[in-house]
Amino acid sequence: MITHNRSAFLKLSLETIIQNTAGDYEIIVLDNASTDDTTAVVTGVKKQFPQAKIKYIKSDFNYGTNGYALAFLESDYNFIVDFDDDILAIQQHWDNDVRRAFAEVDNLAFLALDVIQDQYTEGAKPEMHNYRLHTVKNTTVQIGPTGGWFAVTTRQRYYELGGFIFLPNKPFRLEDGDFVRKGNKRGLVSAILAGTFVYHASGPIWNARGKYHHVWKQKYGVDFSQETVNMVDAVKHEDLPEFDVPQKAIALKNR
């Protein structure tokens, strides 16, 4: 996970990972030179969940998405999960579903989780007519456009097959899209895991300030239109209303 001045989102993301992940894992947070209270938030989460393995790396330079290169160098695990710092809720036992999918779907290299799409966030996922369903044993995947608009995961060795050399000075703006294109050329499969959901703060709420202000004012009666910061890049705790929507949305989706 990479982050920059979005500690309010980051806290929610770390909490949902820890509370809903069952297997052996570590969380690597690459802080792209944040100037807010990101360090304090990570320290607080470590104290709140002492059993969680969290590796925090504070950079003195903002590498943007290039920071993934530094974070990946720190990973010793078989699977890497590119987890956006504005994933606000994730389905319980999602990691078990991911392991099953990699075991059952041949040549699966890049797997995204599905997104909740409601009146507050589109999850930035294209329409379903862009996908075809593929079922193997107990796993159904949606084959079509995939990317970093929600949590994604892959085998580390497939990154190597993609020809990536993880150096911080390597052009690395769209690491998910680059990987998918290279993987597809090699006959590897990229897909979305159907029925395993995340609640991702993307789409018109977060990516377009005007719509962001309109939607949140309508729902919470709060006017952000005078806010001078870019809400996508710098989200303060006081900017966030009570987030009870994400987990409820996932629960409703799985009834």
What confidence tens digit (pLDDT) does each residue in 122-155 have? Answer: 666 778 898 999 999 999 999 988 865 566 777 7
- Residue 109's pLDDT is 82
- Residue 226's pLDDT is 44
Phi then psi for residue 32, to 5 deg, are -80, 65
Question: Residue 158 has which token pair?
Answer: 């497939």
For the domain spanning 2-253, the CATH number is 3.90.550.10
Give the Cα separation of 40 and 44 in Å (integer). 6
Element (H, E) at 152: strand 152-155
- pLDDT per position as a tens digit, 229-246: 333 445 555 545 444 555
Q: Where are the alpha helices (DSSP H) in the chain?
A: 7-20, 38-48, 67-73, 94-104, 156-161, 175-185, 204-207, 209-220, 245-253
pLDDT at 209 over 70: no
The strands making up 2-3's β-sheet, listed across from edge to edge, are: 2-3, 27-32, 54-59
Higher per-residue pLDDT: 80 or 143: 143
Entry pTM? 0.78
